[in-house]
Amino acid sequence: MELLKQRILKDGRISGTDILKVDMFLNHQIDIDLLNEMGKEFYRLFQSWDITKILTVEASGIAIACIAAQYFKVPVLFAKKCESRNLDSDVYQSKVYSFTKEKDYLIRVSKKYLLPSDRILIIDDFLANGRAALGLIDICEQAGAVPCGVGIAIEKGYQRGRKLIEEKGVKVEALAVIDSMDEHTGINFS
* Positions that interact with ligand 5GP (CB under 6 A): 19-21, 27, 60, 99-100, 124-132, 161
User: How far apart are CB 121 and ligand 5GP at their closest, in Å?
Assistant: 15
The C-alpha atoms of residue 161 and residue 3 are separated, in whole angstroms, by 23
State the minimum distance, in angstroms, from the CB of residue 98 to ligand 5GP. Answer: 6
The sign of the torsion formed by the CA atoms of 22, 23, 24, 25 equals positive
Amino acid identity for residue 41 in this structure: E
My answer on whether omega of the bond before 145 falls inside 30° of 0, hence cis, is no
Cβ proximity to ligand 5GP, 34 vs 128, nearer residue: 128
**What is the smallest separation between the CB atom of 75 and ligand 5GP, expressed in angstroms?**
20
- Closer Cβ to ligand 5GP, 50 or 163, answer by number: 163
CA nearest neighbour of 147 among 112, 173, 174, 171: 171
First to last CA, the chain: 11
Q: How near is the Cβ of 90 to ligand 5GP at its closest, in Å?
A: 25
Angle at 133 between CA 37 and CA 74, to 5 degrees: 50
72 or 99: CB nearest ligand 5GP: 99
CB of 52 to ligand 5GP, least distance (A): 23
Nearer to ligand 5GP, 16 or 116 (CB): 16
Residue closer to ligand 5GP, measured from CB, 69 or 176 = 176
Q: Which region holds residue 16: left if phi is over 0, alpha if psi is between -120 and 50, else beta?
A: left
